[in-house]
Structure 1
Amino acid sequence: MVTTKDIAAHLQLSVSTVGRALADDSRISEQTKARVRQAATELGYVGNHAARMMRGAPSNVVGLVIPDIRNSFYFTIAHELSAIMAREDYQLTLAETFDDRLIERRHLRELSASRAAGVIIAPTPNPHSDSVNLLRGMPHVQLLRRQPALGSHWFGLDDRRALDDATTHLLDLGHTRIAYIGAMSDLPTGRERLDGYRQALRKKDISPRSDLIELGPPASPEHARDAMRRLLDGPKPPTAVVLGSVLHTVGVLDCLLELGVDVPTELSVVGFGDQSGLSWWGPGLTTVSLPIGDVATSCGLWFVRRLNNPPAGNDPYESVSVGWIVPRGSTAVPSAASRKRSA
């Protein structure tokens, strides 16, 4: 490993002069700084960030703590934030929790121990008290999910409205037996989406039925496949289904393809998220499109500005973005076949 001693020997300068030049010390001339930087590049020198932090230099690491990178929402977020952090001379580091509060605590301990500049987090359903305390000591912002115990800075979606709109789309087509497959209600996003589904039904004087609601882990396509089978095998199958998770959407589409269900003749489907390929699926999937990239970009730019210019106070801040329905071929008025199955 190339050290400052190697650069000093190469340039016949003192080690202290090389160190000050690399630290952009005003006591060193611009000409000498340029020589040192050029030599450092040619020799392959990599600065010891830990040593600089011990001398009081701030960390440039920002932690992104998310449940599951397989969800297209989160890999979109990681991509957008990585680009923003690179432009602003920060380094994004990724940590997956799999919605395990103990894994989340471990990641936050490591980020705190490494004196990370800050944390962007989609928290687990019930964060550990240690995680709450750790985040109090670090600049942080919540993304998509929001837990009141973790502070009042949040960028997210109007999940309630998204599912209200999705369900209303099916109601306007004439469906009344509409099933919902989504995340558990102990997740803030899961609770809001379930409330949106129920809200749409009540506006049409339809009482939500527990036998048409299937809740489970949001990152489990397997749960969605099993849930769809149960709903279709029931004594009164739904004529339509609305989904409240990206991976649940994937699971349900796999299930319908495997069972040979004719969409939308036998069942109308509204998905969640508009990831690549859904417009090609079968007749094209009607879905809720959400501005995840815009949310991530807004969050990243706001957070970097806050890191670079720390505010005097800690005033609450939240940003809520709204999705929209993309109508395609997977939804239609209830057919005679679907009405007969649900009768």
Structure 2
Amino acid sequence: MVTTKDIAERLGVSVSTVGRALADDARISEETKFRVRQVASEMGYVGNRAARMMRGASSNVVALVIPDIRNSFYSTIAHELSKNLEAEGYQLMLSETDDDRMVELRHLRELSATLVAGVIIVPTARPHQESVKLLRTLPHLQLLRRHPSLGSQWFGVDDHEALRQATAHLVALGHTRVAYLGGPEELPTGAERLRGFRTALRDAGLPADAGHTELSPPSSVDHGRQTVRRLLGEPSPPTALVLGSVRLTLGVLDELAQQDVKVPGDLSVVGFGDEPGFSWWGPGLTTIGMPIQEMATGCALWLMRRLKNGAGNDGPYTSVSPGTLIVRGSTACPAGKPSSRTA
């Protein structure tokens, strides 16, 4: 392994000069820094990050703490964040919690111990008190979900309005038996999406029993399959279904294809997220598109500015992006009932 001593001998300078040059020390001339870096690159030198961290320097690693990498929203966010951070000389590290607050705590302990530069977190429903304390010592922001104990820096989506628009679209087509399948109400995203669904029904003057709700773990593909199977077997099944998570949408679409349900003839469907295959699933899935790239870029820029300015997490910052209703072929008027409204 190439060391700073090897570089020093090659250049005929002291080891301390090499170390300072590689650390961009102001006491070393730009010419010397250039020569040291050039030789270090030629010799294949790899800096000892652990040693630098023992001296109190933070790393160039930014952690993304998410519930489930299988959710394409999070994997796409990770990809976009990685590209944005790399352009600024930072590296993305991924931690997966499976929505378990104790797993979340273990990850945060490790990240804190390694002096990670910053954290972008999609928090669990009830973060452990120690997690709250650890995050107070790190530059961080919340993504998608917002928990009041973790500060006031948050990048999210207007979940209420997104689900209100999706449900209103179905009501405008003439549907009066609409089911909603979404994530748990204890999560802020789940609560806001459910509220948007109920708001659309109330604004349309529909009775309380016009809407049927089913709440489940947001990452449960199987729950999506099982729930739609049960709903379709009821004496008066819904004529329309609106979904509140990507994973639930995948489960529902799989079950509808297995049962050969006619969409939208037998059932109109509004999904959540816009997976690459959603545009060509069946007649094309009407769905709620998420502003993933914009959110990832915004998160990266905010965190980079905060790290460069050396500020804490005191000042509140909120960025709310709109979802987009993408209308395709999976929604139509109920059989035998023309629409009397404008979608």
The more displaced of 49-58 and 213-222 is 49-58
2:293 aligned residue: 293
Which TM-score applies when normalising by structure 2? 0.94
1:154 aligned residue: 154
Segments of structure 1 that go 5 or more residues without pairing to the other structure are 338-343
Change beyond 3 A, Cα 1:225–1:309: same
Moved over 4 A (4+): none
**How far, CA to CA, are the matches of 2:317 and 2:30 in structure 1?**
42
1:258 aligned residue: 258
Contact 2:198-2:211 at 8 Å conserved across structures: no
Change beyond 3 A, Cα 1:210–1:69: farther
1:316 aligned residue: 316
2:36 aligned residue: 36
Helix, strand or coil: the match of 2:276? Answer: coil
Change beyond 3 A, Cα 1:26–1:300: closer
**How far, CA to CA, are the matches of 2:297 and 2:12 in structure 1?**
46
**How far, CA to CA, are the matches of 2:313 and 2:194 in structure 1?**
35
Give the superposition deviation at 1:311.
3.5
Which TM-score applies when normalising by structure 1? 0.94
Give the superposition deviation at 1:3.
1.2
**How far, CA to CA, are the matches of 2:60 and 2:181 in structure 1?**
41
Q: After the TM superposition, which residues 145-294 of structure 1 pair with which residues of structure 2 at under 5 Å, given as runs?
A: 145-209=145-209, 212-294=212-294
Contact 2:24-2:33 at 8 Å conserved across structures: yes
Change beyond 3 A, Cα 1:221–1:237: same
1:341 aligned residue: none
Q: How many residues align structurally? A: 337
Q: Deviations over 1:250-282 (max 9, x none)?
A: 111000000000000000000111121211011
Task: Note if 1:109 corresponds to 2:113.
Answer: no
**How far, CA to CA, are the matches of 1:112 and 1:312 in structure 2?**
15
1:18 aligned residue: 18
Segments of structure 2 that go 5 or more residues without pairing to the other structure are 338-343
Give the superposition deviation at 1:312.
6.9
The more displaced of 22-31 and 231-240 is 22-31
**How far, CA to CA, are the matches of 1:323 and 1:335 in structure 2?**
29
Contact 1:68-1:219 at 8 Å conserved across structures: yes
Helix, strand or coil: the match of 1:57? Answer: coil
Helix, strand or coil: the match of 1:223? Answer: helix
Give the superposition deviation at 1:313.
7.3
Contact 2:178-2:239 at 8 Å conserved across structures: yes
Q: Deviations over 1:143-190 (max 9, x none)?
A: 000001111110000001111000000000000000111101111101
Change beyond 3 A, Cα 1:334–1:312: closer
Give the superposition deviation at 1:33.
2.3
Task: Note if 1:48 corresponds to 2:48.
Answer: yes
Contact 1:212-1:231 at 8 Å conserved across structures: no
2:59 aligned residue: 59
RMSD in angstroms over aligned alpha carbons? 1.6
Give the superposition deviation at 1:53.
2.7
Change beyond 3 A, Cα 1:312–1:162: closer
Contact 1:144-1:157 at 8 Å conserved across structures: yes
Give the superposition deviation at 1:14.
2.1
**How far, CA to CA, are the matches of 1:248 and 1:268 in structure 2?**
16
Give the superposition deviation at 1:132.
0.8
Contact 1:221-1:248 at 8 Å conserved across structures: yes
Give the superposition deviation at 1:336.
3.6
Q: Deviations over 1:51-70 (max 9, x none)?
A: 22333433211110001111
Contact 2:53-2:114 at 8 Å conserved across structures: no
Helix, strand or coil: the match of 1:331? Answer: coil
**How far, CA to CA, are the matches of 1:13 and 1:181 in structure 2?**
68
2:340 aligned residue: none
Letter in 2 for 1:116: V
**How far, CA to CA, are the matches of 2:279 and 2:254 in structure 1?**
15
